């Protein structure tokens, strides 16, 4: 058993679009669908699918607002989502800077 064997990379977070969404939300705190779409440069359907996956994992929460003006949903990381992201970073650091 050597140093890398135990290192698992969270498969929810370790995916191109979702890693970027998570990093963006960590940096921004919260964002709208449009913010994310502009930033990620993906199609609507694709963004929706990734967001749904993050929500299903309990990593992201939504807040839909209606009433005043156009309805708008904001997305932000949950506490578990933040921890998962931190753990993910730790795993990456350990995995990628290792000397065998």
Cβ atoms 31, 75 nearer than 8 A: yes
DSSP 62: E
Supply 32's token pair: 């709208």
Distance, first Cα to last Cα, the chain: 12
Q: Which of the stretches 1-9, 22-30, 41-49, 86-94 binds DNA when contact is defined by CB under 7 A?
A: 41-49
- State how far the Cα of 32 lies from the Cα of 75, in Å rounded to an integer: 6
Binding partner of residue 71 among DNA, its own copies, none, CB cut-off 5 to 8 Å per kind = DNA
How far apart are CB 82 and its own copies at their closest, in Å? 14
Q: Is 28 in the site for its own copies (CB under 8 A)?
A: yes
Contacting positions for its own copies (CB under 8 A): 2, 4-5, 7-9, 11, 14-16, 19-20, 23-24, 27-28, 38-39, 41, 89, 92-93, 95-100
């Amino acid at each position: 058993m050597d140093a890398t064997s135990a290192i698992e990379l969270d498969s929810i977070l370790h995916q191109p679009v979702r890693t970027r969404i998570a990093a963006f939300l960590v940096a921004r705190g919260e964002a709208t669908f449009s913010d994310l779409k502009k930033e990620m440069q993906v199609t609507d359907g694709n963004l929706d699918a990734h967001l749904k996956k993050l929500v299903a994992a309990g990593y992201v929460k939504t807040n839909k607002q209606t009433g005043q003006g156009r309805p708008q949903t904001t997305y932000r990381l949950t506490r578990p989502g933040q921890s998962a992201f931190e753990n993910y970073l730790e795993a990456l650091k350990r995995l990628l800077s290792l000397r065998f």
